[in-house]
Amino acid sequence: MPFEFTTSCLKDSTDLLHSYKKLGERAMAQAPDAALTTTMDAESNSIAIIVKHLAGNMRSRWTDFLTADGEKPDRNRDTEFEAAPQTRAEILEMWEAGWKRVFDALAPLTDADLARTVRIRNEAHSVMQAIHRQVTHYAYHVGQIVYLAKYFAGERWASLSIPRGKSAEYNARLMPGAGTPWPR
């Protein structure tokens, strides 16, 4: 996904979050239904569990983002790793609800808000730090979703970025003349 040039940390973070949401969706779309709730081993999480955890984190972090601690007292993080949603529809509903909270909380913010203080687990963060913390966390888990979806899709997997062996072709489309040897 091409990114728009910006000097706004807030816009860049929001754009990145939108791109990670889309990446996760494109990966889950390629995973067979049964794969969404399948784990690789007893200690691993399924895509459904990862989505449930993300949704729980998003609800906690982004509800009353500027005024309440990001770790809500009613959150039970451990239960996010139990009793996964069982259908694609349930998983995607949870996914959408979580991301809606993120974007609804970010929408009214301005770059001037980035220096404000918020708390997560009673630890002070600038708004900028809190946003970066979540961008990193969500990127980590979306990467897990992509990995699992690719594994379970097998031969049916369509690359979500530049396919192996296609970098030169991709660069040539974006930058005419790329890949051409330098004059000697």
Measured between alpha carbons, how far is 162 from 165 in angstroms, rounded to an integer?
A: 8
Q: How far apart are CA 55 and CA 80, in angstroms?
A: 9
pTM score of the predicted model: 0.90
What local confidence, expressed as pLDDT, does residue 163 receive?
A: 81
Q: What is the pLDDT of residue 151?
A: 97
Of the candidate CATH numbers 3.20.20.80, 1.20.120.450, 3.40.50.720, 2.70.98.60, the domain formed by 9-174 belongs to 1.20.120.450
Render pLDDT for 29-51 as a digit per residue (tens, 0 to 9): 999 999 999 999 999 999 999 99
pLDDT of residue 181: 46
* pLDDT for res 184: 34
Contacts with 105 (C-beta within 8 Å, 6 or more apart), sequence order? 62, 63, 65
Task: State which residues of the chain have pLDDT below 50.
Answer: 180-184
**Which ranges constitute the DSSP H helices of the chain?**
9-30, 47-62, 88-106, 127-153, 167-174
pLDDT for the residue 166: 79
pLDDT computed for residue 182 by the predictor = 38
Cβ–Cβ < 8 Å for 24, 145:
yes
